[in-house]
Amino acid sequence: MKERLIDRFCFQEVQIGKMVFKAVDILFITCLFAFAFMVRWKLMPIESADYFGFLKSWMEQIREGGGFASLDHQISNYTSPYMYLLCLVSYITDNDLYGIKMISIIFDYLASIAVFLILYQLGATLRKSVMGMAFVLLSPTVILDGAYWCQCDIIYTSLLLFALYFFFRGSSRGCLIFVGLSFAFKLQAVFLIPFLLIMWLKQKTVKLKSFGWIPVIYVISALPAWAAGRNFKELMLVYFEQTGTYPWGTLEYPNIYTLLGEAMPDMRHAAEVSGAGTYMTVILLGCIAYYFYTKNINLTGELMITLALFIVAVIVYSLPHMHDRYGFFIDILAVIYGIMDGRKLPVVCGFMLVSVLSFMPYLIAVHIVPQQYVAIGLLGLITFVGADLYRQIQKNVLAE
């Protein structure tokens, strides 16, 4: 059969760094990036309640305060790095809504690149890695959170993904630096730390001294705001202030507290239940750490991704005061988990469906499915991942 010109072009090899792409791969990625942006562009005019209730006011105060000069006083309950980005927006564009959403959209693409790199580092084919990138960019969770909702969960998530990439490359310092950067944006970065502590116990990449990068980067990130005139103690205690803001067991996240009737605004015994739930979470994580530390296991890439997914899901399901968006990192980890073994892609869809059903009560003021049912479904997904983790452990046990 005669080779067509289009086939000759599409299957030409293009080397980028150490990776060899076909021209068709580059063409697909280009189209993916373009159309993923168009999806987001169509959603840009939507003004969510969070934009009206918080972000719009913050931007007005930033402009009135003179951009970066406004950092001399507290405007939001967010940490300094995100406020730096909002200040930057005030100089770049007069359209605050589009400017804020563009921050998240840029990190959407960075997160997709990080997923591509992780998959490729773990031995996935180039095309499977590209499909992981596509899953992230076309994920309803990612699209709704940033381009629709005007939220920024993708920032800390993308930084955690790069932390995982450096972990799998064998760089303890690089990994913990990115965890530190993530923590500087959002407290939810701590969801990955139990996994990294277990990896330290197993002497896999992570060194204990590298954890020092987390407080160092947090302090450094606050220095520009302190130099602008903000109280240093106030900057250091932002997360302590946040943790006391919402007393409910859960804010529309379908975890165990939904089943206990601790959902907003049903709060019954929030303080007591939350305290017990926090200790229970620590115990659960301790059991996982104990099991792994005492087990002689070949830590394959797939097993470690499954462990990371299981740990983060257990934390968000059992820890109190989880918001509707706190399963965001779970969804992206699930993409990596599913792409590594295509038979598990339904699990990815399940986690994303849970997130969408969690988002809806806030975005459209409707519970499409009662949250108690969603919580039971999420427990089923976590149980499946846990059972799969156990099967992988048994498969990779080494002789004593």
pLDDT for the residue 266: 60
Q: Beta strands of the chain (E only): which ranges?
A: 13-16, 19-22, 250-251, 322-323
Count Cβ atoms below 10 Å from residue 263 Cβ, excluding itself.
Answer: 23
Amino acid at the residue 109: Y
Amino acid at the residue 224: P
What are 81-133's pLDDT values in tens digits? 999 999 999 999 999 999 999 999 999 999 999 999 999 999 999 999 999 99
Residue found by looking up tokens 């087990």 in the block: 295
Give the tokens for residue 59. 């931007």
pLDDT for the residue 118: 98
Pairing of strands 322-323, 250-251: parallel
pLDDT for the residue 6: 87
Give the tokens for residue 162. 């790069």
What are 97-106's pLDDT values in tens digits? 999 999 999 9
In which residue ranges of the chain is pLDDT below 70? 1-2, 244-248, 264-268, 399-400
pLDDT for the residue 273: 84
Counting DSSP H helices and E strands in the chain, the numbers are 20, 4
